Amino acid sequence: MRGVSGEPVLVCEGLVKRFGDRTVVDGVGFEIAEGETYGLLGPNGAGKTTTISMVCGILAPEGGVVRVAGKPLTTGTVEAKAAIGLVPQDIALYPDLSARENLAFFGRLQGMGKERLKRRIAEVLEVVGLTERADDHVDGYSGGMKRRANIAAGLLHEPELLILDEPTVGVDPQSRNAILESIEVLGGHGLSVLYTTHYMEEAERLCDRVGIIDEGRLVAEGTRSELLRRIDEHTRVRVEASGDLGAFAAACSQLDLVESATPAEGLVELLVDDGSRVLAPMVETADRLGVHVGSIDVAEPDLEAVFLHLTGKALRD
């Protein structure tokens, strides 16, 4: 994990948003430091998009404050918004304009000068791999290309904080990987990123810290390790083997870090505290007992398990 230092680029405190009688966001607060990638992980309808709409000054909160780069941000402020680059969940581009024309329009709205705009358009098109198709209309792009152009528009004015709202929804695996790689590169260059997703694996791959949001509340927050420590989950090791599996399971259960070992049809399942440290003594035990090991599968506990533990439901519910 990257080190994080400096003053927070984003500070949210006690954000509240209601639509009618329904409280969609209820006291959400978090900070993002310079160069940090922060993930807001939650299922659809958890309040992620509403939260970032308040962070961007698109929606006015009923309660709470937002500060971006040290400046207060409301729907009426202009200065603080310049520090934000938004990549909305929808493809927020004009389909009848080319990527270059879209970028030129949104860049002008950011107050970018002609020369800088021209240079930055070329740079961001290169970053998202659309240089060759820059002058084609967006409506002729594939879903993945549209997503990449959408990201380019958020990066154009070199914001201090890039906000991405589920940028990989509906894209093919190849484009998804390209998008995630781009974000990793940006994070590596010191850009602060707020990333919302309901894909646990994206949050684990990209984010330095993760906030778990459900029904408008931030139920937990921390690094992946910190979150995993909050739940009493073990690494599962499945050993497909042949031989005296009962004796093998009994021997494994005596090893350090092994909580339990259960024989089943053609396999033994172990619950361990540290999968990497238990593998070597386990294989030695198998050799000693003449058990032939076919394959070993190690399943570490993940954020999905954390979410399940904290909310009682799965991320994709």
Partner 1 sequence: MHGALVIARNDLRRRVRDRSFVIQGLLAPILFAAIIGLAFGGGFDFKATIGVADADGSEASRGVVDALVNDAGGGPLTFVRVEPTAVDSKLGDGAIDAAIVFPAGFGQAVSTTQPVDLEVLFDANKRVTADVARAVADGISARFNAGRLAVATALFTGDQPPDEAAVQRLVQEARSVELPITVTLGEVQGRYSPVAYFAPSMAMLFLFFTLGAGARSLITERSDGTLSRMRAAPISDSSILLGKTGGVLVLGLASLLVVWAVTTFVFRASWGDPIAVMAVILATVFATAGISVLITGVARTDAQADGLVSMVAFALALLGGNFLSPGSLPPLFEKLSLFTPNGWALRSFTRIGSANAGVVDVLPAIGVLVGIGLITGTLGLAGLRKKVVS
Q: How far is CA 139 from CA 16, 95, 164, 179, in A?
A: 37, 5, 21, 19
Contact with partner 1 (CB under 8 A): which of 3, 20, 76, 173? 76
Under rule CB under 8 A, how many of the chain's residues touch partner 1? 29
CB-count burial class (<10 Å; 0-12, 13-18, 19+) for 270: buried
Of 28-36, 38-46, 57-65, 122-130, the segment contacting partner 1 by CB under 8 A is 57-65
Contact with partner 1 (CB under 8 A): which of 17, 81, 147, 234? 81
Contact with partner 1 (CB under 8 A): which of 92, 122, 127, 271? 92
- Nearer to partner 1 by Cβ, of 56 and 212: the residue is 56
Q: List, edge to edge, every strand of the sheet that includes 37-41.
A: 84-87, 161-165, 192-197, 37-41, 209-214, 217-222
Residue 93 touches partner 1, criterion: CB under 8 A: yes
- Nearer to partner 1 by Cβ, of 130 and 268: the residue is 130
Residue 148 touches partner 1, criterion: CB under 8 A: no
Question: In sequence order, what are the beta bridge partners of 18?
Answer: 23
Residue 177 touches partner 1, criterion: CB under 8 A: no
Site for partner 1 in 94-133 (CB under 8 A): 94, 96-97, 105-106, 108-111
Contact with partner 1 (CB under 8 A): which of 89, 131, 177, 253? 89
Contact with partner 1 (CB under 8 A): which of 152, 153, 179, 210? 153
The whole-angstrom separation of Cα 52 and Cα 72 is: 15
Q: Smallest distance, Å, CB 58 to partner 1? A: 5
Torsion of CA 166, 146, 56, 122, to 10 degrees: 130
Q: Smallest distance, Å, CB 34 to partner 1? A: 20
Q: Smallest distance, Å, CB 160 to partner 1? A: 13
Q: Smallest distance, Å, CB 75 to partner 1? A: 6
Q: Smallest distance, Å, CB 14 to partner 1? A: 21
Residue 91 touches partner 1, criterion: CB under 8 A: yes
Residue 56 touches partner 1, criterion: CB under 8 A: yes
Residue 136 touches partner 1, criterion: CB under 8 A: no
Q: Smallest distance, Å, CB 261 to partner 1? A: 53
Closest CA to 110 of 56, 156, 142: 156
Q: Which residues bind partner 1 (CB under 8 A)?
A: 53, 56-58, 60, 75-76, 78-79, 81-82, 84, 86, 88-94, 96-97, 105-106, 108-111, 153
